[in-house]
A and B are shown apart, each in its own frame.
Chain A
Amino acid sequence: MTRQETLIELRDIWFGYERRPVLEAVSLRISAGDFLAIIGPNGGGKTTLVKIVLGLLRPWSGSVRSNLSGRHGAIGYVPQFADFDESFPLKVFDVVRMGRLGARGPRRFYSRDDNDQVERQLERLGLGAVAGAYIGDLSGGQLQRTLIARALVGQPEILFLDEPLGSIDPESRIAVLEALRELHGRIPVVVITHDITPYAGMVEQIACVNRELFYHPGSELTEEMLEQVYGCPVELVAHGVPHRVLGEHHH
């Protein structure tokens, strides 16, 4: 598989809730070697777009083509953890093992192999010590890592993450970024984020979504691009000198 091979292609997608359009004529191609950041204002349709790719929402019109294997769990999905019921009576291990539901096939019960894979992913994301903890006792960052581990045990061929760094502790932030960097060597990664700065040096493509989609095949974000998306001049503030994401700009 070459890095340029198209894995997922959206063509002319229209979608909305009730009669209000949320996405208009959106086309997007995700290739095997991509690290794509989907950015845009709140309510701009970032999460909606990903849910269409996942098959959770059916577009009004347009097509979604996939070159993935089509097995369950081929698309890894890490939702925003803010939506979860923390009092739900489950242990970290149980939550992560849900990621084996699709890969398990027709077998009725989890196998030792499933359990081994779960343990491996937990170790990889630094969660070995909390495997037996209830999710209600986790910090936000640990819960986020749990959800990433859950997506990874299904051995996905592409990974989508919705705001994976949203309000998590620094230790988890480093662990998540490290995991994404390592993963990107093997499968394409797509992150929804309102801030691409932490992904500096990793992001290779940017898609700005605000009803329409503006694709940018590079990691440099220009002011013109943001103006298109946000509909007004936006001031770029560049952080992180060692890994500059944003092009030099002058006022």
Chain B
Amino acid sequence: MATLIELWSYDFIRQAVFAALLASFLCGVIGTFVVVKRLVFISGGVSHAAFGGLGVCYYLGVEPLIGAGVVAIVSALLVAVGGRRWVRSQDAVIGILWSVGMAIGVVFVALSPGYAPNLMTYLFGNILTVSHGAVLVTFWFTLVVLGFALLFFKEFVAVSFDEEFARVQGVPVGVFMAILMVMVALSVVLLIQLVGIILVIALLTIPPVISLMLTRGFVSVILVSTFIGALMTLGGLALSYVFDLPSGPTMVLLGALLMLPAYLWQRLVRRDFGKPPDALQAEPQDLVSSAP
């Protein structure tokens, strides 16, 4: 207990805990939409593409996260909103963005004068280096995300479940997809600080996936995955301290370990697998002739 209080007195520990708690809201809200709307691959592409912007800003001496944010938003919108109309194969475009972004980033970091000690931090994250300013930005962004999610919950769910039906009902699907993708892109950039470009996708997928094993209502999936997100980030932080491990990978591995009991719970306790079997297809004419 004494050590805990002592730890809490360190400013960087407090920032890390705040960052972890805020991140868990993003895991819960944005992660759930990423998983149910099948945006996982897009999110992975966006985070890697963001490294291009990050590298350019690093070279120019501008705050790297600004470059990452701009590139993330542009590439997310390109792929998710425009991509379906302009290109034949969305996943090929994602693959190109993914690798070209990384290549640009690495080239510009190499061009930058002097040693580049921060590179590993951006690739694998380090929650202990999160700045006060970054925590504040994450705080306001999380509030905006929660506000949008509350206000337009129906629309986001409808667009995620069935875009075409939502459009027939007059929902501006393109606008909501664009808002969702911007929120995904910014979440990715902010979560990069915690776990890095390569591992960020874990924070957006593992908590909702565990949550979907444990519960089934849309709202409860969001709440439980927020809780799992907190468990992953705070637990990972604690474990990385205790065992002197890098924090980002520790969080991801803790999440992966949590999937096992969740899976067993789903199989053994919840037992809701398998739907009532459809009756065999009857011959149509039997029904027609038996109908009154």
Are A102's CB and B170's CB within 8 A?
yes
A217 to B64, CA, bound (A): 67
Residues of B within 8 A of A177 (CB): 287, 291
Query: Using Cβ atoms and an 8 Å threshold, which residues of chain B touch A101?
Result: 154-155, 158, 166, 169-171
**Interchain CA distance A146-B155 in the complex, whole Å:** 19
**In the assembled complex, which residues on chain A have CB atoms less than 8 Å from the CB atom of B157?**
90, 94, 98
Q: How far is the CA of A86 from the CA of B212 in the complex (A)?
A: 12
A140–B279 Cα distance when bound, in Å, is 9
Contact A56 B164 (CB under 8 A): yes
* Chain A residue with the shortest CB-CB distance to B171: A101
How far is A139 from B278 in the complex, measured between Cα atoms in Å?
A: 5
In the bound assembly, the distance between CA atoms of A241 and B278 in angstroms comes to: 27
Q: Which of B158, B272, B276, B288 contacts A139 (CB 8 A)?
A: B276
The reply to whether the CB of B217 lies closer than 8 angstroms to some CB of chain A is yes
Chain B interface: which of A33-41, A73-81, A121-129, A226-234? A73-81
Q: Does A10 have its Cβ within 8 Å of any Cβ on chain B? A: no
Are B161 and A240 touching (Cβ within 8 A)? no
CB of B282 within 8 A of chain A? yes
Check B161–A170 contact: CB distance below 8 A: no
Which residues of chain A are near B167, meaning CB under 8 Å? 55-56
User: Smallest CB-CB separation from B154: which chain A residue?
Assistant: A101
In the complex the two chains form, is A75's CB within 8 Å of B168's CB? Answer: yes
Interface residues on B, range: 35 or more
Bound-state CA distance A86–B275 (Å) is: 10
A200 touches B288 (CB 8 A): yes
**0/1 interface trace, chain A 213-251, chain B, CB 8 Å (1 if under):** 000000000000000000000000001111100000000
Q: Does B284 contact A (CB under 8 A)?
A: yes
Residues in A neighbouring B272, C-beta threshold 8 A: 136-137
B289→A102 contact, CB < 8 A: no
Contact for A138 among B158, B275, B284, B291, CB less than 8 A: B275
B140 at the interface (CB under 8 A from A): no
B289: contacting residue among A86, A95, A174, A243, CB under 8 A: A243
Give complex CA distance A201, B285 in Å: 12
**CB distance B216 to A170 under 8 Å?**
no
- Interface flags, B261-292, vs A, CB<8A=1, else 0: 00000000000100111110111110111010
Chain A interface mostly: loop
A72:B278 contact, CB within 8 angstroms? no
Give the docked Cα–Cα distance between A239 and B285 (Å). Answer: 6
Cα–Cα, bound, A170→B288 (Å): 11
Decide yes or no whether B36 CB sits under 8 A from chain A.
Answer: yes
A150 to B169 CA separation, bound complex (whole angstroms): 11
Which one of B169, B279, B289 lies within 8 Å of A73 (CB-CB)?
B169
Tell me, yes or no, whether B8 is within 8 Å of chain A by CB: no
Assuming the contacts A90-B218, A239-B284, A240-B289, asked whether A73 and B170 have C-beta atoms less than 8 A apart, the reply is: yes
Q: Which residues of chain A from 33 to 55 have a CB within 8 Å of any chain B CB?
A: 51, 54-55
- CA–CA, A77 and B170, complex, Å: 13
Please, which residues of chain A bring their CB within 8 A of the CB of B161?
84-85, 88, 90, 95, 98
Judge whether B169 and A72 touch: CB under 8 Å.
yes
Which residue among A86, A102, A167 has the maximum number of chain B CB atoms within 10 Å of its CB? A102
Asked if B148 is at the interface (CB within 8 A of a chain A CB), the reply is no
Q: A171 contacts the other chain (Cβ, under 8 Å)?
A: yes
Say yes or no: is B244 at the interface (Cβ < 8 Å to chain A).
no
Q: What chain B residues lie within 8 Å of A87 (beta carbons)?
A: 212
| Bound-state Cα–Cα, A109 to B152, Å | 9
Which one, B154, B155, B215, B282, contacts A173 given CB within 8 A? Answer: B282
Interface assignment of B165: CB less than 8 Å from any CB of chain A? yes
26 CB-based A-B contacts, threshold 8 Å? A51-B164, A54-B168, A55-B167, A73-B169, A75-B168, A77-B165, A85-B161, A88-B161, A89-B36, A89-B216, A90-B157, A98-B161, A101-B154, A110-B154, A139-B275, A167-B281, A171-B279, A177-B287, A198-B284, A201-B288, A239-B283, A239-B284, A239-B285, A239-B288, A242-B288, A242-B289
Closest 10 CB pairs of A and B: A72-B170, A239-B285, A169-B279, A102-B169, A101-B169, A240-B288, A170-B282, A240-B285, A198-B284, A102-B170
